[in-house]
Each structure stands twice: as C-alpha cells, then as structure tokens.
Homo-oligomer: A and B are copies of this chain.
Amino acid sequence: MTTRIALIQHFVFDDKNDNLERVIGKVRQVVKESKPRIVALPECFNTPYDTKYFAGYSEPVPDGPTCGRLSALAKELNIYLVAGSIPEKDGNKVYNCSTIWSPAGKLIGKHRKIHLYDTAIEGDIVFTESNGFAPGSDFTIVDIDGHKVGIGICNDMRFDEFCRVYRNEGCEMLIWPFALVASQGQSHFETLLRCRALDLQLYVCGISAARDENSPCVQWGHSMVVNPWGKIVKEAGIGDEVVVTDIDWKVVQDCRRQVHLFEQRRTDLYACERKKH
C-alpha cells in the first residue's frame, strides 16, 4: 500500500547539458541508495528560469534528445519519472512542459503549464513568463501503479478551481514541480500546498530547484511532501538535497473515510466543473 517517492532538489545553472547530466546522476544515485518507485524533478530543471533562455534551450517532445535520455533512464531504473519541466519546441511556440515516463520508458503524460507567471509586485518582483512560453490548455492525470496522480507546474497550484478538478476526477496525489521565486515562497508556498492537501484530501509533492543566490531567479527550495491531513511528511532545506519518503495510499482512504468533505459538498448550490471541448 506504499509507494516510495524521491524529490530531486538540484542546482540549475546555465549549461543545459550539464544540468541534464547532473540530474541523471542524482536520479541514478537515489535509486541505487533508496529504491524509490517515483522520482520527481523541479520545474525548468535544465534551464535557468528566465525568459531569455527558454527558446534557445527548447526541444521537441518527445522526439528531442532530452526526452530520449529521460525515457531511457526511466526504463533503465524501472521507475516512474516525473521529469519536472523543460522548454518544449512545437512549431513556432515554446511551452513549459512536464513529461512523465513509465518504468517501461513510455511517455504516459505531458503537461504544458497552463497558468503562466505574469506578475508585477511593487518593490518585489516583475516577471512576465508569457514573454517566453505559450500556455497549455489541458489537465494532466497519469496512472501510477493504479493510482491517479494530477500534474501541474508551479503557478498552476494557485488556482483552486484547477486543483479541484483533479480531486473531482479521482486523484490521490498531486505532483507539482516549482520554480518559485524565494521572496514569494515565505508568504504562500507551504500554505498553498498544505491547504490543497486539506481541501482535496490527497498527497501533494512540491519540487523546487536548490537556491542559487546568483541565479536570475533565486529559488525558494523547501521541496516537500504533504499528506492528506495537511501535515508535512518531509521537507528539504534550500540546498542540494533529495527528499525520500513513502506515500501511504491508505492514509488517503483513511482521511476520506473519516472526514467526508467530498460527499458533503453541496453540488446543488455550486460546482467546479471541467469544461468539455
């Protein structure tokens, strides 16, 4: 009833190939040492999180060289690999794209970040992610050993309606690669992850890159796994770290059996619904 997961909080610098090689080395190392079934990487794990890099670092999915390496790695190690995100080239567009690989090396899901981080907070941060990426338009739910897992990228988490759809469609876990700017992390990262876990009664895993004070976007770190009771099961600091823990699916069932949030929704009064196309 448990599935071991490893979150790789690694440093991202401006050498795309070096980022990829180092992260592959870490995945191999954690699999050797801890035998996780799922390994998850941060948002933009092979590129600095800055709009000026995205197009130049982009590749086709799944036919580019990075995807080739990820597919082979998942197969070699017999793991589910939730490969954070990379810039995806598709015609004239570039997407912030997460690829999810099965232990057979098959692409079982692909999430293009939907809610781009376009914000201008006075005295803090100005960032216009849509200058570098086009937005996706699909929900992404993958099956991991019989459990439905919802995938989102960073800012997607801020949209309660988006997350609610995943619960309504039966997810037991959300896996959420992040590249959250450190100045924003304090005020809402833990709160958001814990509240989504409480509202939706599922596990939430957030994976950040390590904090590099010289990066164009200084990352928050604090990769964490939160259980369906809103409790942080395990949390990284800000550095080069790997978080390993066991997801106990029984906790999801226990929580939902004891607290009937889902059944007590008043769908006669309101409902958050996925729009059909």
Contact = CB atoms under 8 A, between A and B. Distances in A.
A162 B188 CA distance: 21
Given A137-B269, A161-B271, A192-B195, 11 more contacts: A115-B264, A122-B254, A137-B266, A137-B268, A160-B164, A160-B272, A165-B270, A187-B229, A187-B230, A188-B198, A269-B274
A188 B265 CA distance: 18
A275 B260 CA distance: 22
A24 interface: no
Contact of A161 (B139, B164, B194, B195): B164
A121 interface: yes
A174 interface: no
Given A199-B158, A258-B119, A164 B264 contact: no
Secondary structure of the A contact surface, majority rule? mixed
A191 B230 contact: yes
Interface string A95-128: 0000000000000000000111011111000000
B121 A258 contact: yes
Interface residues of A, number: 47
A116 B199 CA distance: 16
Assembly stoichiometry (copies) = 2
- Specify which of A115, A139, A269, A272 lies most central, judged by the most chain B CB atoms within 10 Å of its CB: A269
29 contacts: A114-B269, A115-B266, A116-B264, A118-B260, A119-B260, A120-B258, A121-B258, A121-B259, A122-B254, A137-B268, A139-B269, A158-B261, A159-B266, A161-B164, A161-B265, A161-B270, A161-B272, A162-B269, A188-B194, A188-B230, A191-B198, A194-B195, A267-B275, A269-B274, A269-B275, A270-B274, A271-B273, A272-B273, A273-B273
Contacts of A69: none
